Amino acid sequence: MKVCKTIADLRSELSAFRTTSKIGLIPTMGALHNGHLSLVKAARKEAHVTVASIFVNPAQFNNPEDLIKYPRTLEDDLKKLEAAQCDFVFTPEVDEVYPSKPEVKINLGPITNQLEGKFRPGHFDGVGLVVSKLFHIVQPDIAFFGQKDLQQFFVIKKLVDELNFPIDLHMVATEREASGLAMSSRNLRLSEEEKEEASLLYKGLKKAQNMLLASSEVAPVKLAIAELFDQSARLELEYFEVVDTSNFRPLDKVVEQSKTAICIAAEIGEVRLIDNLLLIS
Ligand code: PAF
């Protein structure tokens, strides 16, 4: 596995593979867990050369505290990627990606103002910017993203469609702890007890999924989820919505099951967690 810190180095390494091999990119912000490693596994299956990037992107943090507290575990991450047989890792410093304050703005419209966009204003603009940069730097044939950030996946899909990036996107299913808790870099900030309690997000999603498969009305489901979270002393429900995946607008009634997702966000202590399920997969 080769680690490249600069754009020039990575480009020169990849140039030998461009014409003959499929390049697979796994963009990450590090603090790698099994969810990321399942992306590497998927990339190794679909591409000849796998490139992971590790870059904590300041542009997507609307909360400066969150940026400071974001876990950084580079040495450990590299060991995990090596064991997962990743070929290249791009680990740029902030100055390499943003040599000056970027003037280009990427805004992908109303989908970015729903759910996560509402709670984290500007977040998806920052994601759109850095992912565009990574796509230009790496020029992958395929890029891999986790379902855990479902809205992010659909925002990036819009970016690829509207800016004609010649890149296939693959969404990889969420990896979960035995309790159902979705794996996330933020789980590193939770105690064992908090982790146990946080599995309520998944329990809520499963309950909602069962209710919505039996009846398409959303209001009773919202009520049931609010009651469930009222029983938890530590978890603060931020949002629970049933959405149309084409625009992430909340629905009052399920119309097309195959385009419906159930999304949830909650805070435990100072840690914000999100999760989702597609109504049918
Ligand atoms: O999902 C993430 O870790 C980040 O949002 C991404 C896609 C690597 C962009 O910084």
Q: In order along the chain (281 residues), what is the average pLDDT of each group of 10 residues?
A: 98 96 98 97 98 98 91 97 98 98 97 96 97 98 98 98 98 98 94 97 98 98 98 97 98 98 97 97 84
Task: Give 224 Cα–ligand 1 centroid separation in angstroms.
Answer: 32
User: Dihedral of CA 71/77/80/85: which sign?
Assistant: positive
Q: How confident is the model at residue 281, as a pLDDT?
A: 84
**How high is the pLDDT of residue 43?**
98
pLDDT in the model for residue 141? 98
pLDDT at site 66: 87
**Cα 200 to averaged position of ligand 1 atoms, centre (Å):** 25
Q: What is the pTM of this model?
A: 0.97
pLDDT of residue 235: 98
Closest atom of ligand 1 to 127 CA is 9
**Per-residue pLDDT at 181:** 98
pLDDT at 194: 97
Q: Select from 29, 156, 158 the residue to mutate for testing ligand 1; criterion: most ligand atoms less than 8 Å from CB.
A: 29
pLDDT of residue 237: 98
